[in-house]
Chain A
Amino acid sequence: MAITEPPKIVTSRLAHDDSHTLERFLATGGYEGLRKALAMTPAEVAAEVDAASLLGRGGAGFPAGRKWSMVRPGPLPYLVVNGDESEPATFKDHLLVERDPHQLIEGVVIAAYALQVAQVFVYIRGELALGLERVQGALNEAYEHGAVGRDIFGSGFSVDIVVHPGAGAYICGEETALIESLEGKRGFPRIKPPYFPAAIGLYGEPTVVNNVETMSNLPWIVAHGGAAFAALGEGRSTGTRLFALAGHVRNPGVYELEMVKTTFRDLIYAPVLGGGILHGHELKAFVPGGVSAPWLGPEHLDVPLGQDEVAACGTMLGSGSIVVMDHTTCALRAAWRITRFFWRESCGQCTPCREGSGWLEKILWRIESGAGREEDLDLLMDACDNIAPGVSWPPQQTTICVLGPSIPSSIASGIRMFRDELLLHVKEGACPHG
């Protein structure tokens, strides 16, 4: 597939070193989308977002317009922006908050206007110190510029935005956990139903929670029209999307690509993108959408980067982060590290997740360190089956949130794709990769 050259929707300013400043923002069309939105009715703004068919960029890929339609017409008490990016190897929101904070703020005010919200909380992952400073700085400037606060650009619409720092907890990316955290509590996901904070959200009030990248798309959508956005991509996957590429590639980084028009092969091998595998090595496997997603192998390289296209392979595009593993990678060690992550980040509410993740991590480490038993692979699958019965994709739900059922993904992938290699650990009493 050829790599298309779509308009840069969310990364247009990143070529400039001062992309985070108000001067650069205003010199490059900044806040024009907002001015246009304020001249429209809230319903018209929402209709443009509907027409764009913008899928939420947080990981679940739920249509943003549909999330909004649950609470429209407003006014809606609260809009919360999810900037708690913590899915391993996902680093696109990190880029957006540091490099183009005004674009995020513009998108947030547009959303607030469409939903008739008077109070917004922008929850940003605590570890992103520079990002927090940049967004707070930009917000101060935006208040002064009249783009946030009272009577925005003389329109009569007012909204207050508060930047709220997280404090280090992966689970707070789950929207109900994020709301608990924002209420000053431990980040425990809430029991469903209700499935959406649109019913019961922050302080028990209807709330919309949208991702940073989702918000950052709005200025362009309003300025150019939802139809122009929907004309990019294919099928349900419209527009462009940020893909975070990491691992054994020559040029890791964040790339804005047109949805569906680019394949994994393009992303990993094209000289202008990933540039191929590091040291000219062979590709062994790759994680297609955050570590919660089952892995894919070289035979899947020609799958297009689209929501449904990747789902058809029994995995997900998820958070849009791709981790490449070359032939020197120990598949067992990779599965162990991912499992260790889930074990450390499990909030501890549900037994299958809290206990299962720990047991799995210990068994994996036993095999990796050379003390494994042949029956350990069955034991692993049995424990996985207790967390997500059937170990299928999408997984069966046994827990309050999707963290638990995501745990078996890497283990099942490792066993399915590299069973012999895993058994070699047991036979040789050591990791064959040293």
Chain B
Amino acid sequence: MSHLSDDTMDRARQLVELYPHPRSALVPLCHLAQEQDGWLTPEAIAEIAELVGVSPAEVHGTASFYDMLHTEPVGRYVVAVCTNIACMLRGAYELLEHVEQRLGTGVGGTSPDGLFTVEDAECLADCGRAPCVAVNHRFFGDVTAQRFDALVDDLVAGRLDDEVPPHGTLIRVRRHGGLRVGADQVAAERRAMAERAAAAKAAEAAEAEAEAAAAKDAAAEEAAKDAAAAADGADEAHGADEADEADDVRPADGGS
């Protein structure tokens, strides 16, 4: 009996299949586990490790690098108050003070009722509506103390359940579509494409070589003529050499 539910496990396997190397699915799987549990439990870490083929310590070590992945339990709502420069200039620290008072806990803490965890966030990229607050990564802009209180009331009363899912649920739109062919076929197609491109390149190079050879012949002819004629003819031959070099360069540039 696995810790991750059957549905979560199915989605996890689908995610792993999206990538050429399973480990790439590590962070998306951590998000998925948080969707189930609200945070990243040791049991989930162990199963993610198995799914992507690394040790649980590797999963923990990677997850702990990222702010959004919580290896300790958090509230149903993670309230991130941005305090970076744009929000600070518009009263973010005063707002944060109010948030802490209202929720009865400081930065990093969870409210006594277990509902809210408070974060002092770096820039959330919503600076046009500073100061901004994100609840479970859903944005609220131009937040005042009064608006924050109303927001908390709405969340507690369940009036924002559609807009703000419980912590951990990040992307509610599931992927459908995709190439829907085996990796073998994609690889074969890529090889064929590479061969076609290589052949085109070779043809181009051959053509360029022929052109270059022709130019060289012409240059040599001219040089011979020039040598036989006057001394200033040497300059022209040098010019032809330069043109020759330029011709050599072009095909390498992809004929663009």
By the criterion CB–CB under 8 Å, are B85 and A167 in contact? Answer: no
User: How far in angstroms is the closest Cβ of chain A from B255?
Assistant: 6
Which A residues from 324 to 379 make CB contacts under 8 A with B? 325, 329, 333-334, 337-338, 341, 344-345, 347
Map CB proximity to A onto B176-203 as digits: 1 under 8 Å, 0 otherwise.
1111110000100110011001001100
Using Cβ atoms and an 8 Å threshold, which residues of chain B touch A187? 65-66
By the criterion CB–CB under 8 Å, are A75 and B125 in contact? Answer: no
By the criterion CB–CB under 8 Å, are A165 and B27 in contact? Answer: yes
Cβ-based interface call for A200 (8 A): no
Using Cβ atoms and an 8 Å threshold, which residues of chain B touch A244? 127-128
Nearest CB in chain A to that of B195: its residue = A75
Cβ-based interface call for B5 (8 A): no
Give CA–CA (A344, B138) in the complex, Å.
23
Using Cβ atoms and an 8 Å threshold, which residues of chain A touch B155? none
Which residues of A pack against B, CB within 8 Å?
Answer: 43, 46-47, 50, 69, 72-75, 85-91, 93-94, 116, 118-119, 125-130, 132-133, 136-137, 139-140, 142-144, 148-150, 158, 160, 162-170, 181-187, 203, 244-248, 252-254, 287, 291, 321, 323, 325, 329, 333-334, 337-338, 341, 344-345, 347
Q: B69, B83, B137, B175: which contacts A127 (Cβ < 8 A)? A: B137
By the criterion CB–CB under 8 Å, are B127 and A73 in contact? Answer: no
User: How far in angstroms is the closest Cβ of chain A from B101?
Assistant: 20
A132-B171, A160-B178 are known contacts. Are A118 and B189 too (CB-CB below 8 A)?
yes
User: How far in angstroms is the closest Cβ of chain A from B114?
Assistant: 22
Binds A, one of B14-22, B143-151, B211-219, B227-235: B14-22
Which residues of B pack against A, CB within 8 Å?
Answer: 18-21, 23-28, 30-31, 52, 54, 61-63, 65-69, 80, 83-86, 88-90, 122-130, 134, 136-139, 170-181, 186, 189-190, 193-194, 197, 200-201, 253-256
Give CA–CA (A372, B255) in the complex, Å.
63
Using Cβ atoms and an 8 Å threshold, which residues of chain B touch A132? 170-171
Give CA–CA (A89, B181) in the complex, Å.
42
User: How far in angstroms is the closest Cβ of chain B from A114?
Assistant: 10
Give CA–CA (A172, B52) in the complex, Å.
21
Using Cβ atoms and an 8 Å threshold, which residues of chain A touch B171? 129, 132-133, 136, 163, 165
Using Cβ atoms and an 8 Å threshold, which residues of chain A touch B128? 91, 244-246, 252-254
Using Cβ atoms and an 8 Å threshold, which residues of chain B touch A94? 125-126
Q: B66, B124, B177, B197: which contacts A139 (Cβ < 8 A)? A: B177
Using Cβ atoms and an 8 Å threshold, which residues of chain B touch A248? 89-90
Nearest CB in chain B to that of A98: its residue = B139
By the criterion CB–CB under 8 Å, are B89 and A341 in contact? Answer: no
Interchain residue pairs with CB less than 8 A apart (22): A47-B256, A72-B253, A73-B201, A86-B125, A88-B123, A89-B86, A89-B123, A90-B123, A126-B31, A127-B68, A127-B124, A128-B125, A158-B189, A166-B66, A184-B24, A186-B61, A244-B127, A247-B86, A247-B127, A252-B129, A287-B85, A334-B89
Give CA–CA (A169, B28) in the complex, Å.
14
By the criterion CB–CB under 8 Å, are A116 and B67 in contact? Answer: no
By the criterion CB–CB under 8 Å, are B20 and A170 in contact? Answer: no
Using Cβ atoms and an 8 Å threshold, which residues of chain B touch A149? 177-180
Give CA–CA (A144, B85) in the complex, Å.
42
Nearest CB in chain B to that of A126: its residue = B68
By the criterion CB–CB under 8 Å, are A140 and B173 in contact? Answer: yes
By the criterion CB–CB under 8 Å, are B255 and A136 in contact? Answer: no
By the criterion CB–CB under 8 Å, are B256 and A43 in contact? Answer: yes
Using Cβ atoms and an 8 Å threshold, which residues of chain B touch A128? 125, 137
Give CA–CA (A182, B18) in the complex, Å.
12
Using Cβ atoms and an 8 Å threshold, which residues of chain B touch A158? 179, 189
By the criterion CB–CB under 8 Å, are A162 and B19 in contact? Answer: yes
For chain B, what secondary structure do more than half of its interface residues adopt (helix, strand, loop), or is it mixed?
loop
By the criterion CB–CB under 8 Å, are A91 and B127 in contact? Answer: yes
User: How far in angstroms is the closest Cβ of chain B from A118?
Assistant: 5
Q: B67, B181, B186, B200: which contacts A167 (Cβ < 8 A)? A: B67
Using Cβ atoms and an 8 Å threshold, which residues of chain B touch A87? 123
Nearest CB in chain B to that of A329: its residue = B89
Q: B89, B174, B189: which contacts A323 (Cβ < 8 A)? A: B89
User: How far in angstroms is the closest Cβ of chain A from B241?
Assistant: 25
User: How far in angstroms is the closest Cβ of chain A from B184?
Assistant: 13
Enumerate the 8 nearest inter-chain pairs by beta-carbon distance, A residue then B residue, closest first. Answer: A143-B177, A168-B67, A184-B26, A167-B66, A184-B23, A246-B127, A168-B68, A246-B86
Using Cβ atoms and an 8 Å threshold, which residues of chain B touch A119? 20
User: How far in angstroms is the closest Cβ of chain B from A49?
Assistant: 10
- A-B contact sample (15 more), CB < 8 A, given A75-B197, A88-B122, A88-B123: A46-B254, A73-B200, A88-B85, A91-B128, A130-B139, A133-B172, A136-B171, A137-B173, A168-B69, A246-B86, A287-B85, A321-B127, A329-B89, A334-B88, A347-B65
Q: B52, B68, B175: which contacts A184 (Cβ < 8 A)? A: B52
Using Cβ atoms and an 8 Å threshold, which residues of chain A touch B54? 184
Nearest CB in chain A to that of B255: its residue = A43
Q: A90, A140, A344: which contacts B177 (Cβ < 8 A)? A: A140
Q: A43, A86, A167, A185: which contacts B69 (Cβ < 8 A)? A: A167
Using Cβ atoms and an 8 Å threshold, which residues of chain B touch A341? 84-85, 122-123
Using Cβ atoms and an 8 Å threshold, which residues of chain A touch B189? 118, 158
Using Cβ atoms and an 8 Å threshold, which residues of chain B touch A347? 65
By the criterion CB–CB under 8 Å, are A139 and B175 in contact? Answer: yes
By the criterion CB–CB under 8 Å, are A160 and B130 in contact? Answer: no
Instruction: Identify the interface centre among A186, A321, A334: most chain B CB within 10 Å of its CB.
Output: A186
By the criterion CB–CB under 8 Å, are B173 and A127 in contact? Answer: no
User: How far in angstroms is the closest Cβ of chain A from B203?
Assistant: 12
By the criterion CB–CB under 8 Å, are B125 and A91 in contact? Answer: yes
